[in-house]
Structure 1
Amino acid sequence: MRQITKLFLALAIVASPLTFTSCDDDSLYSGNDYYDDLVANAVQNYYRVFPNGSSNTAAYNWFITYYPDAYTSELEAFMNAIGGDIYWDDYNNGRYVWNNNYNQRQESQNNSLLEEARTLTGEWEGSMVYEYTDDSTKKRVSDQFKANMKFFQYNSSANSLGGNGVEVDTNAKGDQQTLAFSWYVNTDGNIYIKYTKSGNVFVLDSKSDKNGFHLGYEKEKGYDTFFGTAFSTNTTDVLRFDLARQQPASAKATNSLTRAANQATFGAAKKNDFAKYSTDAVNRLHVR
């Protein structure tokens, strides 16, 4: 049996009044001896530290701190046992790859897809949380900053499903980074974004009500909003964003605060839970 770290053993000794359950308690993993099962051991110890549970990121970081030699399969089993999820891997399985056909003008006659691309086109601004695995500590960390994103259709074509854009991120100190990207609306309504410098590709799931996105008119606010989650398909990075359409400088511009005349919306997300993920985020910028 692999042992937990000396640090955690010390913590366990200090907290000796909170004794482990007996070897007869194998309800979590029937048929396994509790003391011979790393996952069951981790679950029990986790609830000793977090009796009411914790955030997904906190659980992940706790596990890799005290069980650094665990296999990936054991990490996954632990997260499943506590009702968590390694959600950043859901779209990292080879089924969500960047389609190079959209690297140039790609026109379509699909009215719904075209309307989605036209609605996305324009300027958006608000808050963003960038979650990633730190290279040195291997822990999940989150950065929060103000983001301004401008989406342009290729060749200014109203029939194009893709284009390019620029994102300007600003932290609390006023530091900025400018990122160029390409984007397109896929045939299933998913939105893909590829950052030019890093090559990181993100997908926004149009069908997921939990981890998808909302794009377009928001009745409660009376204007267009763009919020949701973007999962990297070639890294473990996750972007969560809460943006609103910006009024163009020119009154004659084709983009207005509410661009879609029919107040169209796209994506399956119904609830904006951005605030939940910004709680533990640090206001800083991370190069990507």
Structure 2
Amino acid sequence: MSMRRISKLFLALAIVAGPLTLASCDNDPWGDDNYYYNDLVSDAVRNYLREYPSGSSYYTAYNWFYYYYPEATTSEFYAFMDAVGSNNNYNWNNNYRQQENKQVNGLISEAQTLTGEWDGNMTVEYTEDATQQRKSDSFKANMKFFQYNSSANSLQGNGVEVDTDAQGKTKTLSFSWKVLDNGNIEIKYSKTGTIFILDINATNDGFHLGYDETKGYDTFYGVARSTNTTDVMRFDLARQRPANAKAANAFTRASSKASFGSAKENDYAKKSAGAVNGLHER
């Protein structure tokens, strides 16, 4: 073999070996073989540490992982959590993990119950810019909640709302939603950026989500207060039966008849008295 061919061969080998050499740098959290599990986990940890170089809460790491890797297996999830916990000196031992997983499972159940189609009445209270007077608009509302990436483990998603006034005029709104780590629900409307919070612990201005014993199906009613405007939403919705559903409990999303929120009474009609028909921009 000529010297020229030998030189080209060594150059090719050097190029191939180059990335492998770079992958073992000291500042690479995966330089230690103890961190390596498989491609999905290693990819997830690398991306997570780019976004959270100082780490995050267990809940945040959980939600981040299933948002970006909805098809991951349970073993891949545990491998990821162990890796990011070890890298940031967290003590996520088995007892802690079981406790946190129990809490997260409750949040997942809440998100799964929220997912679906709801229809009913809504009233929006707001301050009119021109007069600075408080006004209330009432209308029919249809809300569809979807989980991101079609993952049953996702605690957030997006949605579409269609509002209809008494004259048949409609307004279509897009929004994102998430179940927060304290069980509150956040809804953010895409066009205006208006954010509403539904308080899971409030009894007077809270909400009810899920099985309604007085009606025998799922209802979703209560109050949502904006955190960046003066708007207040009051709503009285019922789950809609899927077009292909035949089961008697099709109006109940959770087979366990789960419910969430501390609202004890649906006082929508009383609190919305005096509202005029209209479609306030959100």
Same fold at TM > 0.5: yes
- Deviation (angstroms), 1:105: 1.9
Structure 1 residue 252: Cα displacement: 7.5
Aligned to 1:114: 108
Q: SS at 2:140's partner residue?
A: strand
- In the alignment, residue 141 of structure 2 is paired with which amino acid? A
Instruction: Give the TM-score taking structure 2 as reference length.
Output: 0.63
> 1:132 and 2:94 equivalent?
no
Alignment of 1:102-251 (within 5 A): 105=67, 109=101, 110-251=104-245
Q: Whole-Å Cα distance in 1 between the matches of residues 245 and 216 of structure 2? A: 19
Aligned 1:75-114 pairs, distance under 5 A: 105=67, 109=101, 110-114=104-108
Percent identity, aligned pairs only, is: 63
What's the offset of the Cα at 1:279?
Answer: 1.2
Amino acid paired to 1:115:
S
Partner of 1:11: none
1:205: Cα distance to partner? 0.2
Matching residue's letter, 2:137: D
The CA deviation at 1:286 is: 1.4
Q: Deviation string for 1:45-104 (max 9, x for gaps)?
A: xxxxxxxxxxxxxxxxxxxxxxxxxxxxxxxxxxxxxxxxxxxxxxxxxxxxxx9x87x9
Unaligned runs of 5+ in 2: 1-59, 71-99
Aligned residues, how many? Answer: 187
Cα offsets for 1:173-202 (capped at 9, x unmatched): 000000000000001000000000000000
Distance across 2 between alignment mates of 1:279 and 1:159: 39
Tell me how far 1:149 sits from its aligned partner: 0.1
Q: What residue in structure 1 maps to residue 76 of structure 2?
A: none
One-letter amino acid of the structure 2 residue matched with residue 201 of structure 1:
I
- Of 260, 278, 282 in structure 2, the residue corresponding to residue 284 of structure 1 is 278
CA distance in 2, matches of 1:162, 1:185: 6
For residues 226 and 286 of structure 1, the distance between their equivalents in structure 2, rounded to whole angstroms, comes to: 21
Aligned residues of 1:212 and 1:228 also touching (Cα < 8 A): yes
The secondary structure found in structure 2 opposite 1:118 is helix
2:37 is matched with none
For the 8 Å contact 1:129–1:277, the answer to whether it is kept is no
Q: Contact 1:214/1:227 (CA < 8 Å) preserved in 2?
A: yes
Mapped to 2, the partners of 1:122 and 1:256 lie a distance apart of: 11
Structure whose alpha-carbon radius of gyration is higher: 2
Shift of 1:278: 1.9
TM-score after normalising by structure 1: 0.62
Name the amino acid aligned to 1:205: D
From 242, 256, 263, give the equivalent of 1:262: 256
Tell me the distance in 2 between the aligned counterparts of 1:256 and 1:190. 26
Aligned to 1:119, what secondary structure does the other structure show? helix
Selected match of 1:274 from 268, 276, 281: 268
Structure 1: segments with no counterpart, 5+ residues: 1-98
